Structure 1
Amino acid sequence: MKRLKVLKSLVVAMIVFLGLSLTSCNNDRYEPVAVKLSDVNGNYKARLITSQGGKFNEKLIDFVAKDTIITFKDFPVREIVKTVVTDPVKADTALAHIAKIEYKLNYKSKLNVDQNVVELTFEPKTLVFQIPVDGVTKNAVVKMVAKQKGFFVGYDWSVRFGLEAEKITVDGVDLTPYQTIKYDIPISVKN
């Protein structure tokens, strides 16, 4: 009989303890850290998805956001070169001889407190570089556009945006026919 009372007392004590421990969970709510415009600044490693027509390519790239400029130290130009130089062997040879191409993307930022994001409105510049083919250097001018805003997301501290190579001009002549090349960065991680 004495053992039964002790056992009942232990069970009641455990139920009370569990009840009290679960009530403390009611106050655990996610409180997001409010973003500031300066939070965009930093070094990022990003997943880049490049698409043209039905072809997709995915790779990791790095970029730096500082003040109002995103800088790519090595902008991916593989699809552009393969569009200009249609022979795959010559295109690969040209890519091997092209140095890293730096591209700077200007943006304006605006704080969206309700969504806890910084909205990025881009002002792309043309991308200009040279492509060596069969001993001749071709001057490529690529008109870059951003049709949508980008975002710095406060939830995971990432930057998300997209660009398009809308038109390519080689030695003053527009490439025709031409399929737009899209550069999408659906997620990036701040280093």
Structure 2
Amino acid sequence: MKKQTVLNFLMIAMIAVLGFSLTSCNGDRYEPIPVKVSDVNGNYKARLVTSQNGKFNEKLIDFTAKDTIITFKDFPLREIVKTIVTDPVKADTALAHIGKVEYKLNYKSKLNTDQNVVELTFEPKTLEIQIPVDGTTKNAMVKLVAKQKGFFVGYDWSIRFGLEAEKITIDGVDFAPYQTIKYDIPISVKN
């Protein structure tokens, strides 16, 4: 009988505690921390989705944002090189010889307090790559464009943006036929 009374008492106490804990949440509201333009600065780990001609590739990359420049210490070149050098073995050899290529992406920032974001307007520069193939070096000029703004989002403190390799010129001649390569960063995490 004592065990039954103790169990009933514990059940009633547990239900009461649970009820009080749930009612205390009713008044809680999410209050976003207002972003500043300087919040964009930092090191990021990002998910990069590269697409070309219906084929998609995903990988993790790192980049740094400081003042008005996003710096990629190792810009993803695989799709560019494999577009120019169609033989997979020669393309992999060329990628190994090229190594890491640093790319700096300029941007202008504008605070949007209504949506708690920093809008990023990009000013991409042409990417220059020297691709060694069959004992010669091809000078590739890749015209990068940003067709949409990027955003530093105050909700999760991430940067989201995209670029396109719109055109490739090899030794002064437009590479054709060519399918645009898209680089999308749907989410990044600030380190």
3-state SS of paired residue (1:32): coil
1:112-153 superposed Cα distances (whole Å, 9 cap, x missing partner): 111111110000000001000011011000000000000001
Gaps of 5+ in 1: 1-8
1:65-117: CA deviation from partner (whole Å, max 9, x where unpaired) = 00000000000001100111111111111111112100000000111111111
Which 4+ runs in 1 deviate beyond 4 A? Answer: 9-21
User: Structure 2 CA distance, aligned partners of 1:59 and 1:14?
Assistant: 47
* CA distance in 2: counterparts of 1:15 and 1:83, whole angstroms: 65
| Partner Cα distance (1:130, 1:16) in 2 | 71
Q: Which has the larger radius of gyration?
A: 1
Offset of residue 24 of structure 1 = 2.3
Aligned length: 186
Per the normalisation by structure 2, the TM-score is: 0.90
**SS in structure 2 of the partner of residue 168 of structure 1:** strand
C-alpha distance in structure 2 between counterparts of 1:12 and 1:89, whole Å: 71
Secondary structure of the structure 1 residue equivalent to 2:96: helix
Structure 1 counterpart of 2:72: 72
Query: 1:25 corresponds to which residue?
Result: 25
Q: Secondary structure at the match of 1:93?
A: helix
Pair 1:89 & 2:84 matched: no
> RMSD over aligned Cα, in angstroms?
2.1
Q: Kindly tell me: are residues 130 and 16 of structure 1, through their superposed partners in 2, closer, same or farther at Cα, counting changes over 3 Å? A: closer
- CA spacing shift, 1:30–1:171, aligned 2, 3 Å: same
**Judging changes above 3 Å, is the alpha-carbon distance between structure 1 residues 62 and 13 closer, same or farther for their aligned structure 2 residues?**
closer
Whole-Å separation in 1 of the counterparts to 2:145 and 2:28: 44
Structure 1 residues 151 and 18 mapped into 2: Cα distance closer, same or farther (>3 Å)?
A: same
- Cα deviation, residue 22, structure 1: 3.9
TM-score by length of 1: 0.90
Unaligned runs of 5+ in 2: 1-8
- Give the structure 1 partner of residue 52 of structure 2: 52
Aligned to 1:144: 144
The aligned counterpart of 1:171 is 171
Identical pairs, percent: 85
The 1:174–1:22 alpha-carbon spacing in structure 2 relative to 1, beyond 3 Å, is same
For 2:179 and 2:127, locate their aligned partners in 1 and report how far apart those are by CA, in whole Å: 17
Distance 2:61 2:178 in 1: 25
How far, CA to CA, are the matches of 2:19 and 2:87 in structure 1? 72
